Amino acid sequence: MKILVTGGTGFIGSHTVIELIQSGYDPVIVDNLSNSNISVLDGIREISGKVPNFYEIDCRNREALRQVFEIEKPEAVIHFAAFKAVGESVDKPLEYYSNNIGSLAILLEIMAEFDMHNLVFSSSCTVYGQPEQLPVTEESPDKNAASPYGYTKVVCEQMIKDVCHSKVALKSAILRYFNPIGAHPTGIIGELPNGVPNNLVPFITQTAIGKRDTLTVFGTDYSTPDGSCIRDFIHVVDLAKAHLAALEWLMNANTTFEIFNLGQGRGNSVLEVVKAFEALTGEGLNYKIGPRRSGDVEQIWANVDKAERLLGWKTKLGIEEGLRDAWNWEKQLQAKEQIRS
């Protein structure tokens, strides 16, 4: 069975591609490489023994995407392709609205054109804004998103829901991620953002290895035990496995639209993660306290009972494994760079 994976050379997409291959699926990758690297395909091949068909296109390119459907005839789509940095979205809102919402609209039109009805969508806990009660469930009210990035996910979810309830007969599993961290345990693929990382853990590992001078902790005056933001950190391999579980559930489900929280189900503060990394690796981090970052919520973590009940999925890896694998990945990257130089 062919599965189209948009954004399939990205952090979560590439790990999901490996899970698909190892479970007997035939993933087809579409990615414009705006925040990923073509070398990820070599890593996928090294781990899985297979290189998926790859198309370097932007999902907003209607004709190019239509050609992929004509050639590959996928039976389902896992849609990752989107810009994803909260802080950057505050600075560049129009780019986020154009890319995240525009690409999904075109994808849904082409799926309908080819009579293909199965969509697993990459959403985010940012749709909850700053929740009044924790942990959040899928029934927790959506709040005004704290960033343009979060609002693009709100709009995309509503767009999918509207199409699912129309005559198009779309079926979709909406996966609301919390905070993915880690890397493949082989150290062959991991989080490889272009330029300066926007996420905490790659900034930690790049600071520890000397690529960045200083890690900034954005705000320690929040109403949390140590004053820093609290997040629900989930290992990327666990998250990738959740996509496989959601895909298989969707292909057999009678419902047309369902939302799932994907996290560990507990929160850790930014400072807790910093200290856990130092304790795990023995590396001292050069970090400083900075002002709050626009768009950040104070604290959030997930209730994941629904995913366990319907998908048969739960996390198996903790924050220590996530930090261990991210550090292993960073060290392997540096070793490769030294060999090339």
Is 25 an annotated catalytic residue?
no
d(CA 6, CA 69): 12
In sequence order, what are the residues at sequence separation of 6 or more whose Cβ sits closer than 8 angstroms to the Cβ of residue 248?
Answer: none
Nearest-CA neighbor of 136 among 274, 308, 304, 297? 304
| The two three-digit tokens of residue 282, written as one number | 């023995």
Q: What angle do CA 317, 321, 327 make, to 5 degrees?
A: 145
Residue from 25, 96, 128, 149 carrying the catalytic annotation = 149
With contact defined as beta carbons under 8 Å apart, do 249 and 311 qualify?
Answer: yes
Q: Cα-flanking dihedrals φ and ψ of residue 96, to 5°?
A: -70, -45
Read out DSSP for 25-75? -EEEEE---SSS-TTHHHHHHHHHS---EEE---TT-HHHHHHHHHHH--S
In sequence order, what are the residues at sequence separation of 6 or more whose Cβ sits closer than 8 angstroms to the Cβ of residue 189?
Answer: 14, 15, 18, 40, 43, 44, 47, 183, 329
Whole-number Cα distances in Å, 205 to 213, 214, 279, 324 = 11, 11, 13, 10
d(CA 7, CA 325): 22
The catalytic site residues sit at: 149
